[in-house]
């Protein structure tokens, strides 16, 4: 349970990190909070020859608002984002999502960018960013690429990040006046989800649903968006019956994961249950904001 | 492999050690610095036995590299205990059967230490959240939660 040997660099600027990434080539890996990569090193599932540590680069951390856009540095700690009043007010789904990420000690080190780049199918952050249609800002020696969330997570542990690129920032449109919820089923709190659902709901003046977004995670290599369900909910007041009827439109054929411990049939049962709870809770929170 | 000279503060004392990049911080604390109070269970971030405080935040000692500790202020269970006797948290764990084999206890103590450093009157939910990353195979957790509740009461009484 000890990592294989590697060389270690701790650059102080993003430019320095990108230089290293280019000069060290394909044997180099970037380490963010290390809450997934260090276990992989310990289990020797990852054996990079060089580790480039982003923890000493101040420009990659922090959350700020510019106009209606929230800029989140990729190295922002999950605990920092969870405690941020800006996140709670402007991006409530991110707040509720982060409550479900790991445990206090892993959130204190773990970063938003690290979680997104790792792309574990059971992770909450890719589902949250998909629900917000966030933009991922990738930096390299060649410049910058901006990739929308739905083109960023490509599969299990697979993203659009190309060799030589580092996820530097996540840009999200502020959504202050809506209800949000992230609900998941796991054996113990903080464990990887067996199914998760993220919902955003905003209301019209008459208290009916004006816009909603629903993402289900941990059931396929990438988080799944169910616009057919949320389209059917537009103009309605949510009740258990209304939401259940809309959830009939959830295409369960998109669910893929079928493991020994959690079979596909079970995931197809709990996915809609998580979605129902998330939608109802988000609607209730949206109502609470209107009062 | 290149060795790195790393300087940081542990339990108020400045230390400087030469480490291989692949050594975890928990290994450095235990091996080079002889601070074996920090336990290593799973060594991949699952069990929480190696939980320490880094710059005021709880962290898994096995999920940080020793080289990453440069300049950090670290508190281990040795630093969270008085020279003689037990801390309030340790005393309550003893009293309420918050441990049996003791393997998880250093991590539990540090997780609770952090909780009480930011919140002197936690609810039961907050206590459970604070120790949610710590595995204990003996107690069934209830004794630990009861101990933490007693600590909260005693801290209130002191105020």
Q: Can you tell me the ipTM of this complex?
A: 0.94
Which residue stretches of chain A have pLDDT < 70?
none
3-class state of residue B29 by DSSP: helix
Residues shown for chain B = 159
Looking at residue A21, its pLDDT comes to: 96
Q: How far is CA A38 from the centre of its chain?
A: 20
Query: What percent of chain B is modeled with pLDDT above 90?
Result: 98
All residues of chain A having their beta carbon less than 8 Å from the beta carbon of residue B18 are none
What fold is seen in the domain B4-75? Ubiquitin-like (UB roll) (3.10.20)
The H or E element spanning position A51 is strand A50-53
Q: Which strands, in side-by-side order, build the sheet including A50-53? A: A7-9, A50-53, A28-31
Looking at residue A106, its pLDDT comes to: 96
Looking at residue A85, its pLDDT comes to: 98
Looking at residue B1, its pLDDT comes to: 75
Which CATH number, 3.40.50.10470, 3.40.50.720, 3.20.20.70, 3.30.465.10, labels domain A60-173?
3.30.465.10
Between A261 and B101, the higher pLDDT residue: B101
**Cβ of B63 and A103 within 8 Å?**
no
Tokens 């002889």 found at = B34
- Distance CA(A82)–CA(A95), nearest Å, equals 5
pLDDT in tens, B28-44: 999 999 999 999 999 99
In which region does residue A159 sit, left (phi positive, over 0), alpha (psi from -120 to 50) or beta (all else)?
beta
pLDDT in tens, B49-67: 999 999 999 999 999 999 9
Report the residue of A102, A104, A110, A115 to disrupt the B interface, i.e. the one with the largest count of B CBs within 10 Å: A104
Report the residue of B60, B117, B127 to disrupt the A interface, i.e. the one with the largest count of A CBs within 10 Å: B60
3-class state of residue B13 by DSSP: strand
**Cβ of B60 and A53 within 8 Å?**
no
All residues of chain A having their beta carbon less than 8 Å from the beta carbon of residue B58 are 104-105, 108
CA closest to B25 among chain A residues: A38
User: String of b and e for B135-149 (b: at least 16 CB within 10 Å)?
Assistant: bbebbebebbbbbbb
pTM across the whole model: 0.96
Give the nearest partner residue to B43 out of A1, A5, A35, using CB atoms.
A1
Domain ranges of chain A: 7-53, 60-173, 179-290
| The domain made up of A7-53 is a member of CATH 3.10.350.10 | no
Architecture of the B88-158 domain: Orthogonal Bundle (1.10)
């Amino acid at each position: 349970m000890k990592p294989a040997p590697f060389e270690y660099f701790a650059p102080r600027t993003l430019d320095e990190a990108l230089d290293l990434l280019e000069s060290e080539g394909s044997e180099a890996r970037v380490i963010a909070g290390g809450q997934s990569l260090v276990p992989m090193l310990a289990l020797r599932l990852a054996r990079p020859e060089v580790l480039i540590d982003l923890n000493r680069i101040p420009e990659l951390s922090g959350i700020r608002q510019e106009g209606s856009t929230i800029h989140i540095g990729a190295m922002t700690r999950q605990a920092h984002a969870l405690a941020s009043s800006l996140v709670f007010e402007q991006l409530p789904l991110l707040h509720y999502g982060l409550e479900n990420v790991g445990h206090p000690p892993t959130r204190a080190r773990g970063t938003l960018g690290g979680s997104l780049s790792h792309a574990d199918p059971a992770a909450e952050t890719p589902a949250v960013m998909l629900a917000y249609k966030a933009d991922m800002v990738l930096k390299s020696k060649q410049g910058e690429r901006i990739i929308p969330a739905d083109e960023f997570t490509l599969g299990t542990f697979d993203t659009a990040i190309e060799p030589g690129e580092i996820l530097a920032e996540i840009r999200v449109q502020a959504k202050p006046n809506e209800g949000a919820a992230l609900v998941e089923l796991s054996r113990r709190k903080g464990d990887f989800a067996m199914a998760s659902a993220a919902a955003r709901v905003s209301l019209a003046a008459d208290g009916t649903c004006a816009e909603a977004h629903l993402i289900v995670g941990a059931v396929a290599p990438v988080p799944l968006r169910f616009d057919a369900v949320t389209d059917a909910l537009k103009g309605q007041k949510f009740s258990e019956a209304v939401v259940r009827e809309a959830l009939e439109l959830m295409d369960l054929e998109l669910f893929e994961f079928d493991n020994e411990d959690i079979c596909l049939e079970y995931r197809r049962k709990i996915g809609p249950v998580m979605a129902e709870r998330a939608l109802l809770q988000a609607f209730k929170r949206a109502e609470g904001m209107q009062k | 492999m290149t060795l790195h000279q790393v300087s940081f503060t542990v339990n108020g004392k400045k230390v400087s050690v030469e480490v291989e990049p692949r050594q975890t911080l928990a290994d450095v604390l235990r091996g080079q610095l002889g601070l074996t109070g920090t336990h290593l269970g799973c060594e991949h971030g699952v069990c929480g036995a190696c939980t320490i405080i880094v710059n005021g935040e709880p962290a898994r000692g096995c999920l940080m590299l020793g080289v990453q500790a440069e300049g950090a202020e670290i508190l281990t269970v040795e630093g969270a205990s008085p020279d003689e006797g037990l801390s309030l948290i340790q005393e309550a764990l003893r009293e309420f059967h918050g441990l049996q084999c003791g393997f998880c206890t250093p991590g539990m103590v540090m997780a609770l230490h952090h909780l009480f450093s930011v919140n002197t009157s936690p609810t039961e939910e907050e206590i459970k959240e604070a120790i949610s990353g710590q595995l204990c195979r003996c107690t069934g957790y209830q004794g630990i939660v009861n101990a933490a509740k007693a600590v909260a009461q005693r801290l209130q009484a002191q105020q």
